[in-house]
A and B are shown apart, each in its own frame.
Chain A
Amino acid sequence: ETGVTQSPTHLIKTRGQQVTLRCSSQSGHNTVSWYQQALGQGPQFIFQYYREEENGRGNFPPRFSGLQFPNYSSELNVNALELDDSALYLCASSLSDSPNSPLHFGNGTRLTVT
């Protein structure tokens, strides 16, 4: 059983640029969530996708957007990068969008904005 995989593992971008991060969910999982983790902090919820539709969003501006594909893989896009966007971006998948369905996290993408 393949776990959650994220790419790339590390990324360096310049302020104002755009970035796309990718996530392959665990086999059989149809729900994907994205979290942002600043250094020394707990992860913060960005949004969740269930069967290709966004079904929940945290306090992040519209320049954070996402997609989920028919195979349930997902992308996180961030436009107009700011220095504060530097963080570890974590993707998690779950068997369903049920609140009792445990999340399984990938190893994250470390984004540095200079």
Chain B
Amino acid sequence: KQEVTQIPAALSVPEGENLVLNCSFTDSAIYNLQWFRQDPGKGLTSLLLIQSSQREQTSGRLNASLDKSSGRSTLYIAASQPGDSATYLCAVRGIQGAQKLVFGQGTRLTINP
């Protein structure tokens, strides 16, 4: 059974810092991994999707890496801004049960001005 863990559960940093969010998963047999952002009480906004054959994806100040063999992904946020404050969720789509995404519990990020 696939399990996804995100550490830390919460993170508070001053504005302008670069930061890394971590995601680990137990079964490396995946199609892809997706990072989402969730604002309080809202739905999920897709940030980056990394296919299992890829090592990283970049979008603006965001860079996501994938090491499938070790079951790890990181989301790097450069030059953080107060508007980046949100909960960040990673989710994997496994080869078993490919219809579903398996989510971590998220990292709640606060960027202090």
Contact = CB atoms under 8 A, between A and B. Distances in A.
B52 to A, nearest CB: 9
Contacts, number: 65
Interface string A11-53: 0000000000000000000000101000011111100100000
Contacts of A105: 36, 43-46
Interface of B: 4, 31-32, 34, 36, 41-46, 49, 51, 89, 91, 93, 95, 97-106
Contacts of B41: 88, 110
Per DSSP, are chain B's interface residues mostly helix, strand or loop, or mixed?
A: strand
B44 A43 contact: yes
Interface residues of A, number: 28
Contacts of A56: 97-100
A104 B42 contact: no
A4 B100 CA distance: 18
Interface in A49-102: 55-56, 58, 88, 90, 92, 97, 99-100, 102
B19 to A, nearest CB: 20
A100 B53 CA distance: 11
